[in-house]
Amino acid sequence: MNDYRSLPDLPGCYLYKDGDGKIIYVGKAKNLKKRVASYFTKSDHDPKTSALISAIRDIDFIVTGTEVEALILENSLIKRYRPKYNIDLKDSKSYAFISLSEEPFPRICIARSKQENGTYFGPFVSGRERDHVLQVVKKTFRLRSCRKMPKRPCLRYHIGTCIAPCRGEISTDDYMVRVGRAQEVLKGNAGSLIRKLEAEMKTFAENQEFERAMELRDQIDAVRHLSDRQHIERTKTTDEDIINYTVRQDVLYLMLFSVFKGTLGEKQEFVFDWKDGAVEEFLVQYYSENEPPSELILPEPPDEAIGEFLSAQKGKKVRITMPQRGEKKNLLDLVARNIETVFFGGERKVRSLQKRIGLPDPPEVIECFDISHLAGTAMVGSMVQFRYGRPDKRHYRRFKIKTLEGIDDFAAIREVVTRRYRRILEEGGDLPDLVIIDGGKGQLSSAVDALNELGVKIPIISIAKREEELFIPGFSQPLPVKKHDTASLFVQEIRDEAHRFAITYNRLLRQKKIGA
């Protein structure tokens, strides 16, 4: 399971998964690390939360720009996956909209659905936010909100929240100017509207029409307060895929966000070796098995043939865009931010480990070995690889112990270490920056002997159970690193993953033996 201690101190959504990889709970957090940690560090949970915690086998997360965006994303993910431990509101609707009706003098109001003709804005993440926006827009532009326009002004006119078109003193054109400005605010186009209002205010002030200039000043202030708009959940009629990627040390790290009619619904991660045309190759392989979206958003233009391929797969034109600014560029940047957090957020842990064990360079590639057996039967070895502080499952390896009968963890460690690095030497592969052995001084000594026989020089440490002590070759005493230190916690995380992988293989072999 991904260690909650490795999560970022950023807003976003966390997704708990069971042993089958199924999402069983979705939550939002202002600080992902602190929120998820509360599940595993507290003991006074209610029965339902305790049942949830016992079912968790993996943790995933999506970083957002703000906590409000996390709320919106949480809603869309819950509706998409319907997790077992989230509240099941079978009759729930999306968050409410603000609407402008189609009338000569449009009314502004709250709408739960889009059943009537009109223009809709939202959905809004909470009733409080929605009501605040509605009240500010109504007061700023003084639009009517009555269901049926009365014959004479009502209280709203007298308290200054409605221009009262029922009086017959404002033309349809002048009223629609106010409606247009309200629409710009509700669409999130505050910047361009503010510039227009500032120009008009300056003109009125120069003409000494100070009352009208003050009214525009108040509108500008109100618009500025409402300019922080969300960009995750948008009202669209088409589906989009947003893909971004980065290359480090000849490895391509790629992330794909799927947006379904404006709602972010899925995040997928991919890691593979970099080569010329790797992105185009990914696009062909992925969309050969998945239906292409109506629009594909990329950071750079692909080969021209890709567009034709996607359109042929979908049966109609697929639009490929490379935005340089605006809402879609914000989404592309959000994917890039998730790539940095998900794939490279472990750099702090790596540097902490480097410092604690005295390495000259950060151990960007770490391999860890573990041995598993049940009373000497089905003895197996595992090797997991962490790259930039995260599991790189492409390079996981498992070993069936071939040279032993009975229980001998030292000899087993020696065998799997020898087999792993002999093969790398034969194939001309890259050695890791650090090797970790699950065990104490005895297991460490066996692994060092194996490396020496191969003539391989790799920094190596071991971690002993119980006190989580770290050992290095040539020293009888453990390193002075506390088990709650960042470096020790990182080594424990890697060791736990190697242990999980070894146990999984051990169980598989025993099940096959029973089945035979």
Say which CATH number the domain at 9 has. 3.40.1440.10
Q: Which 3 state secondary structure label does DSSP give 73?
A: helix
Contact 460, 452 (CB under 8 A): no
Distances from the Cα of 13 to the Cα of 63, 65, 79, 254, 445, angstroms: 7, 11, 14, 20, 44
- 304 domain residue, yes or no: yes
Q: Give yes or no: residues 169 and 109 share one domain.
A: yes
Burial of 1 (0-12, 13-18, 19+ CB in 10 A): middle
Q: Give yes or no: residues 483 and 377 share one domain.
A: yes
Name which of 399, 392, 357 is nearest 486 in CA terms.
357
Which residues constitute the domain of residue 135? 97-225
- 317 domain residue, yes or no: yes
Here the tokens at position 465 are 């159970």
Here the tokens at position 203 are 């003109």
Q: Give yes or no: residues 371 and 314 share one domain.
A: no
Q: Give yes or no: residues 323 and 362 share one domain.
A: no
Q: Give yes or no: residues 413 and 461 share one domain.
A: yes
Looking at residue 331, its pLDDT comes to 87
Q: Give yes or no: residues 160 and 212 share one domain.
A: yes
Tell me the one-letter amino acid at 442: G
Looking at residue 5, its pLDDT comes to 74
- 359 domain residue, yes or no: yes
**Cα 228 from Cα 217, distance rounded (Å):** 19
Q: Give yes or no: residues 292 and 326 share one domain.
A: yes
Q: Give yes or no: residues 338 and 355 share one domain.
A: no
Which helix (H) or strand (E) covers residue 377, if one does?
Answer: strand 377-387
**Cα 420 from Cα 413, distance rounded (Å):** 11
Looking at residue 229, its pLDDT comes to 41
Q: Give yes or no: residues 256 and 362 share one domain.
A: no
- 40 domain residue, yes or no: yes
Tokens 């026989």 correspond to what residue? 453
Here the tokens at position 278 are 């790797």
Looking at residue 457, its pLDDT comes to 94
Contact 400, 356 (CB under 8 A): no
The order of strands in the sheet holding 319-321 is 263-273, 251-260, 240-248, 295-297, 319-321
CATH number at residue 261: 3.30.420.10
Looking at residue 9, its pLDDT comes to 86
- 90 domain residue, yes or no: no
CATH number at residue 504: 3.30.420.340
Looking at residue 127, its pLDDT comes to 58
Looking at residue 91, its pLDDT comes to 37
Q: Give yes or no: residues 74 and 101 share one domain.
A: no
Task: Put residue 364 in one of left, alpha, beta given phi > 0 → left and psi -120 to 50 → alpha.
Answer: alpha
**Cα 231 from Cα 224, distance rounded (Å):** 17
Q: Give yes or no: residues 378 and 510 share one domain.
A: yes
- 357 domain residue, yes or no: yes
Looking at residue 378, its pLDDT comes to 65
**Residue 8 exposure: Cα atoms within 13 Å on the Cβ side:** 22
- 231 domain residue, yes or no: no
Q: Give yes or no: residues 15 and 113 share one domain.
A: no
Beta strands in 249-376 (DSSP E): 251-260, 263-273, 295-297, 319-321, 365-374
* Residues in the chain, overall count: 516
Helix, strand, coil distribution of the chain in percent, nearest 5: 45, 20, 35
Beta strands in 114-208 (DSSP E): 118-121
Mean pLDDT for back-to-back runs of 10 residues, the chain (516 residues): 75 90 89 90 82 90 82 77 72 61 86 75 60 73 83 77 82 87 72 72 77 73 54 56 90 87 73 83 87 92 87 90 88 89 83 93 95 73 92 90 78 94 94 95 95 96 90 91 88 92 78 58
How many domains is the chain built from? 4
